[in-house]
Amino acid sequence: MGNGTQSLAGKVAVVTGGAGGIGVATVEALAAAGADVVLADVEDAPVEKAAAELAAKGLSVVGRTVDVASEDSVRALVDFTVDTFGGIDVLDNNAALTSAIRADRDVVSMPVELWDRVLAVNLRGPMLLCKHAVPVMIARGGGSIVNITSGQGLSGDRVMVAYGSSKGGLVALTRFVAAAYGAQGVRCNAVAPGLIRTPALEADMPLPVQQMFQSANLIPRLGTPEDVAGLVVYLASSAASFITGQVLPVDGGFLAHLPTLSPLPAH
């Protein structure tokens, strides 16, 4: 149970992509702070497994399958949450399509179908969750939305143009939602993780590439899912009641300097 201004006792949270590395850590952190949490993801088995494991720890977590690219599925998730816990106070838009990353290269080689699929999950999904959750939040006096964007939504790269563009769009969506609904008590912020050590990362990214990223971090390690989850809890809580429309990197300082100069001595 959380305490002080970061307690989420009595709050209801929804986490999309909740069965993945960052998602599971976020669900656990929100529930440990006192929230009732709906763990939502696209595949039945991982949702059931993750929710059961967290519930076995004594946390108030239930699972629900959702396809965030489908408005009907999103609407059903919101209705399920309201029916189960009475409302929504916290929305963590964490779901993202990662299975297409290897094929996501540059603009010239971009298959239009891949572009549309990435944006459907990474950008339309959060829009749909906001569309259906915001009225529920307003009815309860307000709430906090946290969109999980990426450092690749804040800077360019030679590859992953669809992913990066979707995350850049999510930054804009964050500010538009914050601007439109702040007066009604709804805050909306974005978290921009750097390279986070998850099971998917360990499986897909060779160690030398991980080390290359780590060498460019001002804090000389890769991030953990708990690094992201801790900030989500803070932004969800009353401790962050005057913070909205902001993008907060969790990247060990990766974007705070010129990485090409990082090997030079400080003195």
DSSP secondary structure of 107-140? STT--HHHHHHHHIIIIIHHHHHHHHHHHHHHHT
Residue 152's nearest CA partner among 144, 143, 160 is: 160
Distance of CA 78 to the CA centre of its chain: 17
**Listed residue (148, 144, 129) closest to 237, CA to CA:** 144
163 is known as an active-site residue: yes
Alpha-carbon torsion, ordered 64, 70, 74, 75, to 10 deg: -120
Contact 222, 197 (CB under 8 A): yes
3-state SS assignment for residue 209: helix
DSSP 3-state of 59: coil
CA distance 233 to 2: 10
- Order the strands of the 61-65 sheet from edge to edge: 61-65, 36-41, 12-16, 90-93, 143-148, 186-193, 247-250
* Amino acid in position 96: A
Q: CA–CA separation, 101 vs 162, rounded Å?
A: 9
Active-site hit among 163, 213, 234, 254: 163
Active site residues: 163
